[in-house]
Amino acid sequence: MTYERYQGPEDMEEEFLFCQPLQTTTTGEDIFMKVDSLFKEEGLLWRPCYSVCCDGAPAMLGARQGFIVSVKQENPSVMVVHCLLHHENLASLKLSHELQKVMQEVTQVAITRKGTQRLLEFWTETELFLTEKSHPLAHKFPESKWLMQVAYLADMFAEINSLNISMQGRDQTLVGLSEKLLAFKGKVKLWMNKIKSGKTASFPSFNLLLEDERFSLIQVQGIIEGHISKLIRECDHYIPENTLNYSWVRNPFNIEAEDLPDEIANISKLQQELSEIQNDATLHYNFKRQKESLSSFWIKVHKEKPNLRGEALKTLIPFATTFLSEAGFSALTVIKGKIQKPFATRR
């Protein structure tokens, strides 16, 4: 299932390109041959393709036989974007052995990590039910240390789920999502400083438990600090650090021309064009009104500024996530489920 994004007359356009089944195997070569054949049928070329966004599956990103390897043989300059949603998930799923064990026990009751908060809300009722059914986890519920870890995980996953949801949807760009990920990294580091100083207000469910004298931060402080420390390392590893390179695209009127990133090609010409834009009162007025998207603003930048506009669009054209494809597959699964669902007739 493939989608395309391209520059339209007034804004970026996102379109469904095609959906085709793979009849036998699903290797990177199989995927490329399917896409390539459909490209040829529609008269599309690989050379104008600026970027490809995909998940981290070996069939897509494999170093020798992945889909991207074949794409680069057709267009060596293509930009490869590893879905930022997958990066965020990879960073957030790294739990310590003890927290992983607690999470596994919770999911035996709550099914998914999203149900952790509901488990806390109906703690007493769940404990009574499991005790009545002689469930093997019933004895865990009175344990204060276990309960505090559950509360911490509920709060942490609530934050991660909130970030995840904010990164979904159409028209997501590297500019916007990189800023969200950078903000999340800042929050994680703030949480570490708070926990070290004994402040827990950032974790509401956990903080509420500490109002009861049966619970003490000291019991789990080391576990929490260890997890947040690991999360910081994972964020540094998976989440890109080049967010500041996009700041001039986000707001071209709030940066000095000489502060454009040095790695941009033809930097002197771009600095001159940026200075000219900053002194264009009409452009500045339209930008401040914010009645159009960021992409629309740059597309409408005067034709005499093609270099700067082109450089800006390089950060706005690439898909930042594979959300559209995954949403499409989810919809397809629902449709197929309804079609195949058994039914009864009535005479």
Is residue 120 assigned to a domain? yes
Per-residue pLDDT tens over the stretch 36-66: 999 999 999 999 999 999 887 888 888 778 8
Closest residue by Cα to residue 147 from 194, 202, 212: 212
Is residue 286 assigned to a domain? no
Asked whether residue 129 falls in the same domain as residue 226, the answer is: yes
Amino acid, res. 230: K
pTM confidence score: 0.80
Per-residue pLDDT tens over the stretch 214-232: 899 999 999 999 999 998 8
Is residue 117 assigned to a domain? yes
Is residue 173 assigned to a domain? yes
Asked whether residue 7 falls in the same domain as residue 142, the answer is: no
Q: Tell me how many domains the chain contains.
A: 2
Domain containing residue 183: 88-240
Separation between Cα atoms, residue 291 and residue 7, nearest integer Å:
18
Q: What is the pLDDT of residue 188?
A: 92
Separation between Cα atoms, residue 217 and residue 189, nearest integer Å:
19
Question: Lowest mean pLDDT: which of 46-55, 77-86, 287-296?
Answer: 287-296
Per-residue pLDDT tens over the stretch 229-279: 998 888 877 776 666 677 888 888 888 888 887 777 778 888 888 898 888
Q: Place 346 in a pLDDT band, splitting at 50, 70 and 90.
A: very low
CB 99, CB 223: distance < 8 Å: yes
Task: Output the furthest CA–CA distance in the chain (Å, rounded).
Answer: 80
Separation between Cα atoms, residue 238 and residue 87, nearest integer Å:
5
Q: What is the pLDDT of residue 198?
A: 94
Asked whether residue 160 falls in the same domain as residue 234, the answer is: yes
